A and B are shown apart, each in its own frame.
Chain A
Amino acid sequence: MAKITINEKEFEVEDGKNLVDAAEENGIEIPHYCYHPGLSVAGQCRMCVVEQEGNSKLQIACNMQCKDGLKVSTESDRVKDAVKWNLEFHLINHPIDCPICDQAGECGLQEYFMEHGKYKSQMREQKVLKEKVVPLGDKITLDKERCILCSRCVRFTQEVSKTADLAIFNRGDRSVIGTVNNEPMKGNYQVNTVDICPVGALTSTDFRFEQRVWFLEEAESICRGCSTGCNVNIHHKAGKHIYRLKPRYNADVNAYWMCDEGRLTYKSANFDKRLNAARLGGVKLPLREAVQMLAAELKTLVAMEQQDEIAVLLFPTETNEDLETVFKTLKGDLEINAFYSIDVQALIDEDEVKDELMMRNDPYPNSRGFVKGMKAHKIETKNLQSLKKDLESGKIGHLLIIAPEDPQVTDLLAPLSQATSPDTFVSLLTPQTAAADLFAQALSIPCISHYEKKGCMINFQGREQQLSGGFRMIKESLSLDECFRLLLEEYKKPTEIDRRKGAQQ
């Protein structure tokens, strides 16, 4: 540990820690653009200047390591003036086109101007004009005029994604970001450059012009794209529509980054893909009635001692809490034994990093939690081939499918729908229309999507991570936990059969 003094206050910080980070840890913000804790130090933007005791020149905090006795000021008049002027330098050639800029509302220039600037610009000369809409492949759109040349994106492609596809061309105030030979950017990690761009220069082509960021709310969650379990923030509007996912820092899992594929997993959760009402054979019915019907169907089979004809199909995409309720209800209360799924253990056994960076082979977010839940309830699942066989042989009277909005699951369901005979009653708990459409005659109950879920999932490291969604995009939808509690409630209500049985006794 090192004792350092910032603004005449003493702090104890990790020896050798970067001063910008050490200050931030202690609630002191040192403005910076080019410095990023996940990248090498460039020292270019000069925004992080501080006054160091014993040094007549202003020093940049990003290139200072904390050691005992370090004394700096971040709020002396000299520093304030320097920061203000540095900001002016950043802005004299900036187009200041905030009204049409996607970054507005989360822009480093706007933020620091309000905090450290608030001057009237003296720049009356012609600004340097540059290209404004430059697609760098199909994921990123570049505005060269807005770029402050902090080089974060360039360093990212050199140091993190190792694609090295970005560079700064030309020199002086004619410098521009670009790709080598104007080729499209490569790889599955491009959009991270948008996250780390402190201004509106690099924008996500997916998010561009979709929504003003000040209308967005955030909820913490875990990406559903693979077993890595990247920590994400969901950016949604009033819980009705998700506009984007952004990586949330977790030093042990994904650091500051996530892959582009994972980033787009929010799409299947939005309204146009969603089952927005319960239905039976294509006819809408109230949600409560649908659950009652499912309870009744199950109960009839149980009452006739035919619960062996009930088959349950589910995937490692649910939270540990939901799985617990599902297993407890189906296995414990209803004594159902026929569970089907993909071979999750095999996925775990063969799980490794797919692209030398972060993405893993196992495409499900909670395989470990799934196996753990199965073991706890002494459940063994059979695979999809046996389900198909069992369906074809007519052994299954009721097939209960719990299907997430994941398109790869929908692909797995398609062959099963063909194998299902009209004699099998299919009930489907799913957030998406695509799955419900596969089983046209089924009883479909709308569920919430992955990013609305609350609960925990276990990633490849065995780390239990929390999803805090909590919003409800479709009014008429249930979480699995809610659905099964309701189901059990309905199931336990005495019915005509019970009464008759009671009378006989």
Chain B
Amino acid sequence: MYRYDDFDARLVRERIAEFRDQVERRIDGRLTEDQFKPLRLMNGVYLQLHAYMLRVAIPYGALRAEQMRMLATISGKYDRGYGHFTTRQNIQYNWPSLVDIPDILEELASVEMHAIQTSGNCIRNVTADPFAGAAADELEDSRPWAEIIRQWSTLHPEFTFLPRKFKIAINGAAEDRAGIRVHDIGLQIVENEAGARGFEVWVGGGQGRTPRLARLVKDFVEPRDLLSYLTAILRVYNQHGRRDNLYKARIKILVDALGVEAFAAEVDEEWSYIRDGELRLPQSEILRIRSFFSTPSITEASPVPEAGPAAFRHWLKHNHRDHQTAGLSSVVISLKPIGGTPGDATTGQMQVVADLTEHYGFDEVRVTPDQNLVLPHVRNEDLFAVWTALVDAKLATANAGLATDIVACPGLDYCNLANARSIPVSQAISSTLEAEGLSEAAGDVTIKISGCINACGHHHVAAIGVLGVDKRGEEFYQITLGGAFGADASIGEIVGKGLAAEDVPGAIARILKSYLAQRLGDERFIDTLRRLGSDAFKEAIYADLAA
């Protein structure tokens, strides 16, 4: 894990002192809300329906035990005893007082954390594979590159006022678990024919009201050129991106407007001026950053247990992931208890995860884009002890990747932008699918819910997406089918008219029953859907409603 140097620590401390002064001036009236709002947003502070919300950055979703413990402490000391892990691998606190936030930031800084660039039209937290450095299918650990990008983009003076927010994802494994096709820039670590490592660069993906899959603009960028190429992309966007229309300001609209070839040509021209300049990454610097990130080495390799209680084996079946090192495993800690709130963890649960990270996890825990946690490195002989502790903490739900592993934004219960509630709908779906035995039976199915078109719940890339809309004061939910997040990324299509909230769980249950009746062999839901088309499921959604 990366550790702050003196520069990092001073930068964060100075920023906190600056924000403390800004808060004091806001409270005593020297700053108006119009003057203060952009300043608080630059420090991750939103004003939501009932309270301020503080979004804390978790760079590429990676935490040490002391950092998770601090997140727990803050949730108990300054909030209401829980935190909400997000689809962008961050954590949000829903109830902090403005006057407490400078103190919260001080506490975060004591464990090398902050809330900088978790809002605003800047480069946001870099998304990475939550299994990076551990996954069996990995070509190269993406974390050093995510850290290099983090350092380059933090308080970057040229990219602090972009036309709109900007999100970068990086993936170094065969399976894309970072979602590179739905980010403004997606980087895939690849190996060329000569055996050299570099980056495929995808640009212009995103969700929201205009969902787009990123397009390939460069099939190979050498590691030393990464920052100069990213800079060239950002400069083209900064110059040509639309600032006159909020809804057309993302880079995906620019790529649409120019066409991917013309866009790539503009980037290449800009790149030609800067490629051999100060942004060229020295090999020594790459190695320095890489030295912070290691995979544990063990001397004795035990196999994954095959015996034990049925519940333990069931948990291993769904929440265990193969590790690149013999004798180690990765495990998913589901934050999706049946009928619970997706992504929430209580103070006590975070403390338990911190303890497990310290005792069994080689001091590493990750946040996933699916709003779960991951212990990337666990000795196989420790898996039972980890599971036992998770059971006691009500964190051992064996549903990672199943239909009850639902992603949901906070929705109208918290969010100022939302049109409809997400949490109660996700809870009802989870309970219904579990009660009918469909979560286990249907296997690998993604269900994601957004409470508005901004799509923080990532419904566009769910096999079954649910989008909440408001029609004259009433909540309705549109079902989308066919979205996917990873290497076979796709945008789901709306199927028919919206449903009332109470009709959504039954409709999704009928979709899954229809799938089970129509699948060939052990075909996944998304593959059955692509084979048959969404119309094959339309009748299942609406049949009972018409009756």
* Physical interaction between A and B: no
Chain A interfacial positions (CB closer than 8 Å to B):
none
